[in-house]
Amino acid sequence: MADEVLIQVEKRYPGGGGVRGTLTIPLGGPSVTVVFGPSGAGKTTLLRCIAGLERPERGLIRFGAEVWLDTETGRWVPPQGRRVGFVFQDDVLFPHQTVRGNVAYGLRSMPRSERARRVAEILKLLELEALADRYPRTLSGGQRRRVALARALAPGPRLLLLDEPLAALDAPARQEIRRLIRQVLVRTGIPAVLVTHDRDEVLAMGDRMAVVLGGEIVQVGTVEEVWSRPASPAVARALGIENLWPGRVVGRDGDLVAVAVGDRQLRAVPSEDLQDARDVWVVVHPRDVVLEKGSWLAVEADARVSARNRLVGRVVGFVPEEHVLRVWLDCGFRLAAVITYQAREALDLREGDVVTAIVKAPAVRLIPHGAFEGTIPGREPSLA
């Protein structure tokens, strides 16, 4: 299609590692496609294949109607012919050049007056005007990231690739760069591909995402789709969804199915891929768990109470995070919930307290056993 980038590649290294699978990136407007996965999964290799810095053994890369790579026909467009901006994990700034000189580096073929105008435009866009005559060694980590981003944008790329752009930055700098990247992409209309292993970056910056595990693109979709409906237990674990239990479908309750987890039952909205599966994985995102102080045993036993699940449990621990608190419960099985620090104070939650965990039926995702093997539901076709 003319309005997307199609990446269908297989790249392997002699010593191990690489990446394989299919990904599409929408064109025609600002969007961020996040390539997410643990370190060593193959994310950076995928990015380098798109940029032309790596040459896959097999595959097809097409930017709209332009073919950048086709191993069947031998078609190969080198990096300089792709007009792609690349922000590396390291800033890779020239220490002997000022900020202005670094930004101007890729514009040497322009007439001097046009080059000066473009540099001034990019410096303003990235809020670097006051730093134009400074050298990299005098800049903070966040400022150097902005210079690296400015240098990548200066030549007017059609696609921006960012490899862990927020790595090694402190929390305030990460938030500032996130804001700036989104702002710049909206203003310029440039689509971007962002590599990260940070779940917060996915949620803060992504429109679409591709999950890469073990050198394989295993799920592609909008951030909301992937986050709310992980295609396999492996994807759920990678996303940090700790609530993952083996279960068994034991019956139907109207439009819902009842699934046993240990000696408890949950109600869930069945998906098309469930079909007649009996043995399932049960996935509940911790952010979809609401806590109430005290026991609701009487209500829990009443099957007429809306489409909700109420699980009585005991608080067994807290794990502080940057902006939220993870609460671990014993409900007959371990259950994680995420609440704000203010919510903990309001509930006066302490270890040992009895609480009721409330989970709506649509938030309970059921994955048939074996979904992590072979074709994954919702996955775009990979190379055969």
Q: What is the pLDDT of residues 43-90, one digit of tens each?
A: 999 999 999 999 999 999 999 999 999 999 999 999 999 999 999 988
Which residue range is the domain that position 121 belongs to?
4-228
Is position 383 within any domain?
Answer: no
Q: pLDDT tens, 269-290?
A: 887 767 677 889 999 999 999 9
Q: Does one domain contain both 262 and 134?
A: no
Question: Can you spell out the DSSP letters for 87-113?
Answer: E-SS----TTS-HHHHHHGGGTTS-HH
In sequence order, which residues have a C-beta less than 8 Å from that of residue 136 and are 6 or more positions away?
A: 91, 93, 94, 95, 97, 99, 102, 144, 147
Q: Does one domain contain both 215 and 305?
A: no
Position 377 scores a pLDDT of 32
* CATH code for position 361: 2.40.50.100
Higher local confidence (pLDDT), 239 or 302? 239
**Helix, strand, coil share (%) of the chain residues, nearest 5:** 30, 35, 35
Q: Does one domain contain both 305 and 266?
A: yes
Q: Does one domain contain both 101 and 22?
A: yes
The count of structural domains within the chain is: 2
Is the pLDDT reported for residue 298 higher than 70? Answer: no
Q: Does one domain contain both 153 and 97?
A: yes
Is the pLDDT reported for residue 299 higher than 50? Answer: no
Q: Name the pLDDT band for 373 (thresholds 50, 70, 90).
A: very low
Q: Does one domain contain both 249 and 163?
A: no
Q: pLDDT tens, 98-141?
A: 999 999 998 988 999 999 999 999 999 999 999 999 999 999 99
Q: Does one domain contain both 209 and 261?
A: no
Q: Does one domain contain both 254 and 156?
A: no
Q: Does one domain contain both 136 and 195?
A: yes
Is position 161 within any domain?
Answer: yes
Q: Tell me which amino acid residue 148 is.
A: A
Residue carrying structure tokens 């979904």: 371
Q: Name the pLDDT band for 156 (thresholds 50, 70, 90).
A: very high
CA distances from 235 to 8, 18, 41, 259, 265 (A): 20, 19, 12, 21, 24
